[in-house]
């Protein structure tokens, strides 16, 4: 493909990756697809995620968000605006009844390079925590350590995750209410060892849009409740609160995301970010 053709394809919203061939042809779906691709491209640009020629490891759980992330990245790569190599990785953590065949079959069907890694972290979590405890936190820490290791083994500079707008907002309010700090889920983060970048290209994408996208694309969803139902978590309560705010005042979630990118340190109380002691009057 020549330069002019590539530029045209990159900017042509009507064009779409062949993976969308069996997707709905409705105006509503096309608008949804264009919006998600545009928002992901904006986040990638805003947070300088791309270094051409690198290799990205896309963490695929089998949920709606990670499927959507992979397809959106493939579309951006097809358009010539994502000059990186992609490898999809699933970490099978040994949850009971995990359908091991679904992801490799799907990834082989769409022709995506992939790796399935088995590590029984489920047994570790259930051994260390009582049945009444929430598994998510420890499970997540164990999973992240393995994903960093796999990224190194695969020669990947970045671990790419499917967290969306709501994940970021929920984390912000959980930190606010329970952690006593103003912190969210950054769209770009360097790991503690300094050798793997964590990227979240769906930072601007709404969870409801990702759900509609997954339904329309008929992704073979693997349920996230294989460890058992753990309703009543603080995150679920925070999600319900944000959904109620959005219902009462539509558009507030977008406003909140913009607020996280529009910080005024002098209007907060953090003395490490703003030197209040140095403030002096300028008498005439």
- pLDDT band of residue 138 (cuts 50, 70, 90) is low
- On whether the CB atoms of residues 135 and 227 are closer than 8 A, the answer is yes
Domains of the chain: 3-262 (3.40.50.620)
pLDDT at 63 over 50: yes
Sign of the C-alpha dihedral, residues 132, 137, 143, 146? negative
β-pair type (158-160, 55-59): parallel
pLDDT over 90 percentage in the chain? 72
pLDDT at 82: 97
- The rounded mean pLDDT for the chain is 88
Q: What is the pLDDT of residues 211-270, one digit of tens each?
A: 999 999 999 999 876 554 454 478 889 999 999 999 999 999 999 999 999 999 999 999
- pLDDT band of residue 10 (cuts 50, 70, 90) is low
pLDDT at 139: 63
Q: What is the pLDDT of residues 174-195, one digit of tens each?
A: 999 999 999 999 999 999 999 9
pLDDT at 1: 44
């Amino acid at each position: 493909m020549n330069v002019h053709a590539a530029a045209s394809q990159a900017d042509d919203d009507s064009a779409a990756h062949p993976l969308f061939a069996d997707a709905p042809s409705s105006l509503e779906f096309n608008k949804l697809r264009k919006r998600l691709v545009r928002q992901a491209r904006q986040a990638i640009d805003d947070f300088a995620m791309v270094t051409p020629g690198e290799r990205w490891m896309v963490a695929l759980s089998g949920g709606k968000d990670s499927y959507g992330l992979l397809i959106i990245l493939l579309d951006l790569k097809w358009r010539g605006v994502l000059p990186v190599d992609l490898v999809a990785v699933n970490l099978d953590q040994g949850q009971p009844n995990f359908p091991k065949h679904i992801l490799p079959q799907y990834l082989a069907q769409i022709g995506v390079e992939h790796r399935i890694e088995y590590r029984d972290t489920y047994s570790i979590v259930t051994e260390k925590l009582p049945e009444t405890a929430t598994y998510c936190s420890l499970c997540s820490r164990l999973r992240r350590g393995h994903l960093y290791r796999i990224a190194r083994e695969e020669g990947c500079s970045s671990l790419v995750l499917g967290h969306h707008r709501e994940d970021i907002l929920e984390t912000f309010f959980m930190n606010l209410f329970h952690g006593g700090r103003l912190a969210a889920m950054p769209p770009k983060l360097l790991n503690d060892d300094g050798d793997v970048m964590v990227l979240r290209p769906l930072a601007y994408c709404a969870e409801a849009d990702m759900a509609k996208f997954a339904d329309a694309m008929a992704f073979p969803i693997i349920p996230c409740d294989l460890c058992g139902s753990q309703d009543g978590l603080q995150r679920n309560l925070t999600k319900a609160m944000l959904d109620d705010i959005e219902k009462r005042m539509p558009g507030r979630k977008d406003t909140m995301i913009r607020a996280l990118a529009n910080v005024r340190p002098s209007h907060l109380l953090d003395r490490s970010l703003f030197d209040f002691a140095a403030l002096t009057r300028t008498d005439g």
